[in-house]
Amino acid sequence: MSRYIWRGIDYGQSPTIHPHFTYVYKGLSIGAWGAYSTRGTYAEADLFAIYAYKFMSVTTNDYFFPFEGKHTDFYFDYNKGTTTHLLEGVLSFDGVPKFPLKLSVATTFYGNDLKTDGNSNYSTYIEALYPFTCKNSKFDVFAGFTPAKGLYSTTAGFVNTGIKFYKDIKVNSTFTLPANMAFIINPQAEKIYLTFGFTF
């Protein structure tokens, strides 16, 4: 990715590489995902588990940020106050064929998201996403909102709005490169981003 923008926040402020893998068994998906800045200024290594049933899914994320907090590389520190892990639960409605609108609510419940008094912020992010197709190209229109002060903003409000465009670029007769471009606005931070990425 040209920039790693997650829920309206710019991480790394440089191009990033995102290795990932997922193992799927029936309705259960487990995997790992990472983000590494090409400048060496940001790193992230996450684990996740998703259980999907019909049009609903429940996700648990374990985010790990080795460049933050007291420890820089100790993965197994889960002690409150020093851990750089962040645990989150997500409940999603994944849309139905005749109404593909996707809705999700994500809340942190442990880790590196604390108030000044040491208690958890329980930062919450609510997103609506509508996918559609136009002239054989896929698009997502999305709007993300946080209801209170926390990880995403100092006040309640919209933090991640925009549109994302997906296109398969045919390189030759045997190889196609999936690419994407996004126009993102964070109204709370008064920031705007135009990102580009591809997968191989």
pLDDT in tens, 5-20: 999 999 988 999 999 9
Written as one string, the DSSP assignment of 170-192 is: E-SSS-EEEEEEEEEEETTTTEE
Select the more confidently predicted residue: 23 or 135: 23
Give pLDDT, residue 121: 94
**Can you give the pLDDT at residue 73?**
67
Measure the CA angle with vertex 147, ends 129 and 118; round to 5°. Answer: 125
Structure confidence by residue, pLDDT tens digits, 125-142 = 999 999 999 888 899 999
Q: Quick check: 42 and 35 in contact, CB under 8 A? A: yes
What would the mean pLDDT of 160-172 be, rounded to a whole number? 93
pLDDT at 151 over 80: yes
Examine the pLDDT at 154 and tell me if it is beyond 70: yes
Work out whether the CA dihedral 56, 24, 133, 146 comes out positive or negative.
positive
